[in-house]
A and B are shown apart, each in its own frame.
Chain A
């Protein structure tokens, strides 16, 4: 039953039960909590935080301040410390005295005992200055030390009605009697607070309410569905299909929360359109149109024309279209669009090399449509919503059920007619999203959209779906989709070739090399193939040949791709790079270097290819003993603008290593440090750099630094990477850890802490044996140190304590090393061989070796 559903007011959230407002609050939980805390602080301390929320109509300002007031009202600590004055949304005051009266009147309505209404009546006829002073006094008396939280909507229009001197009066009162805390709203920033010369400049803590993102819009609709007891709808909204539809609505309607509240009514209640249409049209006409017309008036005639052009456009448009549509030059439109973007009338979306523009506020389109049509045509936004959300059959049914005299009928009729005669709007919007998304973005929703549009039977859509499926590793379905395009009768030859190329690639990813090569070969030999398809097929086939060890075939393919007339420069650069690698694999270093050099010098080569070629060339130089050239290569890769962090990090690590080989430890450490600190550096490179830098520090005797690097290495997030880095080098790091721990301190507690930490790290990487072994081998250093016998005992105790801290099943790995350590220390103290006899023969042999003693006779 409709009447049992919670009431959510579209236009006056203060009428909605605050509990429901809490339930449907999205995106702003943090802002609400912070704002409530700020006002609370203002009431309970001498700090005063004046808040101002800025957002266009329907952005959720009243919703937010209603909840602020509600939460403050629930706080028992504020009950006797705070009074609330909520000024009428349309409150106008041309003088500060009028404003003060409005505040007092609001208080009087809520707290008549404390703020008697007679106070206002007593002011009539008095000199304004006297009245103001009298009212101030009465207000303060009524407050009796409490704080007024003054909720003021549309603060911008209030400021516009107050002269500078009246604003100064207001501010003087707030300064002289800091008993008022303001929580205001405005539709946009205004000079009264944002101009340095104005009395209230910087006075408010100003927060811009952000439009809802797609996820937030979905979250809001889902919450409303749950609140309205529509679990089925909430469930549907969570499916990829439901999520994709909300995406399309977001693309149409933007992120205005009020619109989603209105749409939710249509979703929740099939009959809602009837009840909704008239109030919605009235709201648009009365509230929005005048507002947006006023905003349009501030613009130059050409800017107005652009806005009107964008109002009529159903999707974002490039500058070229606007210029053509308005019969003017590209340049003049670009300049105007820049300004319109600064004024927040339009939004821009880069798409490839183009930038598309649309209205920043979809409600503006709606409002202007009302003014532009004189025959009560249905509002496009609602019609479009119906087209996006419903299937054609569903709309037909609803139309059939709709009474002839229903206001909603025209909407259903329009939506149904457009569905039959016009393009599928939902699919158009999906297509737009898919075109602006990276193909790497292949989440469930993207897939759902790609699947939906592919139903229309356009080959380009199918190819895109196949690519997305390939990226998602859904090989079989991808191959099926490409095959459908390939087998399509009367299909475009160009798309046929593209599908072959893509299917070949998918076969390759799925490990079906023969099918892969067959598809590439068909694409290469096809007459209708464009040079770019042939070039990429050649490069891909070359890579496949190379991976199978057929170097000659690979080089032949790369060479054909390089020499192919009309081949895309990026494919040529990549072919050169791969041919260089293949030449290197075949031992032809000179040719390898020559190919890298050509790739590096090719203007069209991407920074990624150039950096990779520089890096590979550096390695080849180093392997040939040309360290100076290697360093020069790494340096170019490091300094290359736009080089991916991965390549930069690799070049830094390799340059550091090369410096180290030449004995330049300071430069070596500096390079490792840069790699470690580089944002976006792959963890593998960071791990290698930490491993090497730790070794450098240990070698330099900088044991604290070595310990830090060891600690950082062991605690890197990805254990697999740490394991790979340490693999076969655990013994080395164990020695380093023991030496550094022993040298860095003589404090037994720190020894215990460090040995315990390292024992736990080495246990994680199956290196406890190496760690224990390092302790035994370290015995001679113990003897060489200036430490006394009790320090030696403390060292042993630290190891015993570390062993005890290990999980029980791992402790035994340190049994033998600890036995050897104890016995070794005992021997060091007395130098009596008899001490060693407590150990079995094999252990004695090990210990004697560690202590540099001759073999036992």
Chain B
């Protein structure tokens, strides 16, 4: 039964062939991990988890890794237990042990443990001790494995912090952040790759309002996978058309159109492909019409209205300025506008403080509304969102 128990700790690795178009980004990410821990942040459904799965499935020589989705983790103790169990499972196959932790916990250990970790006296093991000791043990074990490092892939970290803040208070969430910083900096052979669809700056902002003054992830590099490269996105769109049994007289043109209209994001490619009729010949014009219908539909599950709602939520007090910026960029004939052009257009609608405008442009980039191009001009991160914005705001 041993093999089953190991499967408990490790996600079923995805076959690399299932995930297309991320090779360059993954290579770059491994290179970056050589140097420091990373925080990967991008829009929901852009494919962050898929990337991690692919990294896990194709571990380069010299790396050990484990994956956990943390959104179901609600306490610091659960988190510590999970890290311990993940570490133990990674080392099981390597015939190494977490020596200090074994001493701490007594006879029970590894994947046989359920729930939070208990000390021999029945008390819950202090989570910080568990984390520190596990990491120390891991470093020690790695020392016996020449040229080997360990990376923890932790998905949806902001949700875990939110869960902990809800259940145990913001103070505990802050302590978790601090210890994450400590652990990722203390050991050269251990790296963290954290992901989240919520910008970590929002989590910190919420904690800063409670007096927290740390910048726990400052030492981490932020990485953003973005949409697929057009070449790969078109290939993915083509495979979606085939998979769904759609009839396309000109399959290449349809795939190119589907991909471009969905801004080369696999999620939207899938969603749009699902809207196409199964019984008629699909053409680029039909795909375009279906997208238009979806964007105008009152019954869509794409929830693009999120981008409008969120403005109110994350820019309290400056909503008008943000809307003016986004309206300007949506309505402009050239989708990319320089700072001066934006300033000029926004100033027609309201008095503009240049520094406030700069700061909001920066925040809009961090929140994936906008992106800066090679000419330093700002445009919508996804043309699809721009198109929806124009419709929604009647521009």
Residue A129 CB within 8 A of the other chain = yes
* Contact residue among A127, A165, A170 (Cβ-Cβ distance under 8 Å from B115): A127
Residues of B within 8 A of A372 (CB): none
Q: Could you tell me if A207 and B69 are in contact, using CB atoms closer than 8 angstroms?
A: no
Residues of B within 8 A of A201 (CB): 44-45, 303
Residue A193 CB within 8 A of the other chain = yes
* Contact residue among B14, B72, B167, B267 (Cβ-Cβ distance under 8 Å from A169): B72
Q: Could you tell me if B114 and A133 are in contact, using CB atoms closer than 8 angstroms?
A: yes
Type the 1/0 row for B1-33, where 1 means its CB is closer than 8 Å to any CB of A. 100110110011111001000000000000000
Residues of B within 8 A of A136 (CB): 8
Q: A34-B244, A194-B301 are in contact. Are A176 and B18 (CB under 8 A)?
A: no
Q: Could you tell me if A172 and B18 are in contact, using CB atoms closer than 8 angstroms?
A: no
Q: Which residue of B lies closest to A51 (CB)?
A: B274
Q: Could you tell me if A206 and B11 are in contact, using CB atoms closer than 8 angstroms?
A: no
Residues of B within 8 A of A205 (CB): 270, 274
Q: How far is the CA of A136 from the CA of B8 in the complex (A)?
A: 9
CB distance from B304 to the nearest CB of A (A): 8
Q: Could you tell me if B299 and A189 are in contact, using CB atoms closer than 8 angstroms?
A: yes
* Contact residue among B1, B11, B18, B114 (Cβ-Cβ distance under 8 Å from A45): B18
Q: How far is the CA of A196 from the CA of B198 in the complex (A)?
A: 11
Residues of B within 8 A of A33 (CB): 245
Q: How far is the CA of A199 from the CA of B162 in the complex (A)?
A: 13
Most buried by A among B72, B74, B302, B306: B72
Residue A121 CB within 8 A of the other chain = no
Residue A130 CB within 8 A of the other chain = yes
Q: Which residue of A lies closest to B9 (CB)?
A: A176
CB distance from A133 to the nearest CB of B (A): 5
* Contact residue among A34, A134, A144, A169 (Cβ-Cβ distance under 8 Å from B278): A34
If over half of B's interface residues share one DSSP class (helix, strand or loop), that class is named, otherwise mixed; here it is loop
Residues of A within 8 A of B167 (CB): 165
Q: Could you tell me if B78 and A129 are in contact, using CB atoms closer than 8 angstroms?
A: yes
Q: Could you tell me if B13 and A46 are in contact, using CB atoms closer than 8 angstroms?
A: yes
Residue B159 CB within 8 A of the other chain = yes
Q: How far is the CA of A30 from the CA of B69 in the complex (A)?
A: 35
Residue B140 CB within 8 A of the other chain = no
Residue A391 CB within 8 A of the other chain = no
**B interface residues, how many (CB within 8 angstroms):** 50
Which residues in window 121-141 of A have CB below 8 A to B? Answer: 127, 129-130, 133-134, 136-137, 140-141
Residues of B within 8 A of A46 (CB): 12-15, 18
Q: How far is the CA of A40 from the CA of B67 in the complex (A)?
A: 26
Residue A208 CB within 8 A of the other chain = yes
Q: Could you tell me if B11 and A175 are in contact, using CB atoms closer than 8 angstroms?
A: yes
Residues of A within 8 A of B1 (CB): 141
Q: A168-B159, A197-B306 are in contact. Are A176 and B7 (CB under 8 A)?
A: no
CB distance from A143 to the nearest CB of B (A): 9
Residues of B within 8 A of A173 (CB): 72
CB distance from B376 to the nearest CB of A (A): 29
Residue B340 CB within 8 A of the other chain = no
Residues of B within 8 A of A130 (CB): 114-115
* Contact residue among A144, A196, A343 (Cβ-Cβ distance under 8 Å from B303): A196
Q: A31-B278, A168-B159, A205-B274 are in contact. Are A37 and B243 (CB under 8 A)?
A: yes
Residues of A within 8 A of B69 (CB): 171-172, 175-176
Residue A708 CB within 8 A of the other chain = no
Residue B334 CB within 8 A of the other chain = no
Q: Could you tell me if A195 and B306 are in contact, using CB atoms closer than 8 angstroms?
A: yes
Q: A175-B49, A189-B299, A208-B299 are in contact. Are A196 and B72 (CB under 8 A)?
A: no
Q: How far is the CA of A141 from the CA of B6 in the complex (A)?
A: 11
Q: How far is the CA of A342 from the CA of B298 in the complex (A)?
A: 6
Q: Could you tell me if B72 and A168 are in contact, using CB atoms closer than 8 angstroms?
A: yes
Q: Could you tell me if A171 and B306 are in contact, using CB atoms closer than 8 angstroms?
A: no
If over half of A's interface residues share one DSSP class (helix, strand or loop), that class is named, otherwise mixed; here it is helix
Residues of B within 8 A of A682 (CB): none
CB distance from B37 to the nearest CB of A (A): 21
Q: Could you tell me if B14 and A37 are in contact, using CB atoms closer than 8 angstroms?
A: no
Q: How far is the CA of A760 from the CA of B368 in the complex (A)?
A: 59
Residues of B within 8 A of A165 (CB): 74, 163, 166-167
Residue B123 CB within 8 A of the other chain = no
CB distance from B161 to the nearest CB of A (A): 12
Residue A179 CB within 8 A of the other chain = yes
Type the 1/0 row for B176-220, where 1 means its CB is closer than 8 Å to any CB of A. 000000000000000000000000000000000000000000000
Residues of A within 8 A of B299 (CB): 189, 208, 344
CB distance from B216 to the nearest CB of A (A): 22
* Contact residue among A134, A168, A194 (Cβ-Cβ distance under 8 Å from B71): A168
Which residues in window 348-389 of B have CB below 8 A to A? Answer: none
* Interface size of A as a range: 35 or more
Which residues in window 142-163 of A have CB below 8 A to B? Answer: 144-145
Q: How far is the CA of A767 from the CA of B45 in the complex (A)?
A: 61
CB distance from A708 to the nearest CB of B (A): 16
Q: How far is the CA of A116 from the CA of B78 in the complex (A)?
A: 28
Residues of A within 8 A of B71 (CB): 168-169, 171-172, 175, 199
Residues of A within 8 A of B300 (CB): 194
Which residues in window 257-300 of B have CB below 8 A to A? Answer: 267, 270-271, 274, 278-279, 285, 298-300
CB distance from A725 to the nearest CB of B (A): 25
Residue B116 CB within 8 A of the other chain = yes
Residue B73 CB within 8 A of the other chain = yes
Residue B42 CB within 8 A of the other chain = no
Residue A178 CB within 8 A of the other chain = yes
Which residues in window 66-96 of B have CB below 8 A to A? Answer: 67-74, 78
Residues of B within 8 A of A171 (CB): 69, 71-72
Q: Could you tell me if A195 and B303 are in contact, using CB atoms closer than 8 angstroms?
A: yes
Q: Could you tell me if A47 and B18 are in contact, using CB atoms closer than 8 angstroms?
A: yes
Residue A701 CB within 8 A of the other chain = no
Residues of A within 8 A of B70 (CB): 172
Type the 1/0 row for A195-223, where 1 means its CB is closer than 8 Å to any CB of B. 11101011011111000000000000000
CB distance from B227 to the nearest CB of A (A): 15
Q: Could you tell me if B245 and A34 are in contact, using CB atoms closer than 8 angstroms?
A: yes
Residue B137 CB within 8 A of the other chain = no
Residues of A within 8 A of B45 (CB): 201-202
Q: Could you tell me if B4 and A140 are in contact, using CB atoms closer than 8 angstroms?
A: yes
Q: Could you tell me if A178 and B267 are in contact, using CB atoms closer than 8 angstroms?
A: no
Q: Could you tell me if A172 and B44 are in contact, using CB atoms closer than 8 angstroms?
A: no
Q: Could you tell me if A141 and B18 are in contact, using CB atoms closer than 8 angstroms?
A: no
Q: Could you tell me if A140 and B7 are in contact, using CB atoms closer than 8 angstroms?
A: yes
Which residues in window 303-323 of B have CB below 8 A to A? Answer: 303, 306, 310
Q: Which residue of B lies closest to A204 (CB)?
A: B301
Q: A133-B114, A165-B163, A172-B69 are in contact. Are A194 and B278 (CB under 8 A)?
A: no
Q: Could you tell me if B68 and A176 are in contact, using CB atoms closer than 8 angstroms?
A: yes
Residue A177 CB within 8 A of the other chain = yes
Q: Which residue of A lies closest to B313 (CB)?
A: A197
Residues of B within 8 A of A137 (CB): 5, 8, 114
CB distance from B330 to the nearest CB of A (A): 19
Q: Which residues of B contact A (CB under 8 A)?
A: 1, 4-5, 7-8, 11-15, 18, 44-45, 49, 67-74, 78, 114-116, 155-156, 159, 163, 166-167, 243-245, 267, 270-271, 274, 278-279, 285, 298-303, 306, 310
Other contacts beyond A175-B69, A176-B72: 18, CB < 8 A: A30-B245, A37-B243, A46-B14, A46-B15, A130-B114, A133-B115, A134-B114, A140-B7, A168-B72, A168-B159, A169-B72, A170-B72, A171-B69, A172-B69, A172-B70, A178-B12, A199-B71, A202-B302
Q: Which residues of A contact B (CB under 8 A)?
A: 30-31, 33-34, 37-38, 41, 45-47, 96, 127, 129-130, 133-134, 136-137, 140-141, 144-145, 165, 168-173, 175-179, 189, 193-197, 199, 201-202, 204-208, 341-344, 679
**A-B pairs with beta carbons under 8 Å apart, 17 shown:** A30-B278, A31-B278, A34-B243, A34-B244, A137-B114, A168-B72, A168-B163, A169-B72, A170-B72, A171-B72, A172-B69, A176-B11, A177-B12, A178-B12, A194-B300, A196-B310, A202-B44
Q: Which 10 residue pairs are nearest across A and B when measured between Cβ atoms?
A: A172-B72, A196-B306, A30-B278, A175-B69, A130-B115, A169-B72, A342-B298, A168-B71, A194-B301, A202-B45
